[in-house]
Structure formats: structure tokens, C-alpha cells
Amino acid sequence: MAEKMITLGKKNTLASKRQVLSYVTKEDVVKKLFDEIAPKYEDRNGGYTRIVKTGPRRGDAAEMCIIELV
């Protein structure tokens, strides 16, 4: 979902803003996506996130990971 939001943010059109607002309801988060986050990835064609596996969670042994922006 993060990859899709950044890709929509790079387009910077009214239609893409409306699509992002349909997923993310907080306008300040959408403004930050379009003004700060998306311009940093303008020259990248995907691969905006990295998944780091942290091992199983104590208690129920669910697989855990950390998702970070590259």
C-alpha cells in the first residue's frame, strides 16, 4: 500500500490526490505525502520500501517485520 501511495503522490494530479484521500482520510498526512515524501522518490521507478524480518513474536509466534522507506 505504501508503494502505491508514493506512486500516486509522484503524479501530483487532482485525481491522484482524490485516490489517496479515499485510502488515507487525514488531510495533513496526504499533504505531507505530496509535498515532502513523493518528491524524494521522483527519480525512482519503484522499490520505495524495504522489509526487514525481525523474527517471530513472543507469545503467539507470529512472523514480524519492519517496513521502512528506502
What are the grid coordinates assigned to 34, written together? Answer: 505530496
What pLDDT score was predicted for residue 9? 94
Q: Is 33 in contact with 9 (CB distance < 8 Å)?
A: yes
pLDDT, tens only, 19-70: 999 999 999 999 999 999 999 999 999 999 999 999 999 999 999 999 999 8
Beta-strand ranges (E) seen in the chain are 49-56, 63-69
List the CATH code of the domain at 2-69: 3.90.1030.10
Terminal-residue alpha carbon distance, the chain: 15
What pLDDT score was predicted for residue 60? 96
What pLDDT score was predicted for residue 7? 94
pLDDT, tens only, 15-32: 999 999 999 999 999 999
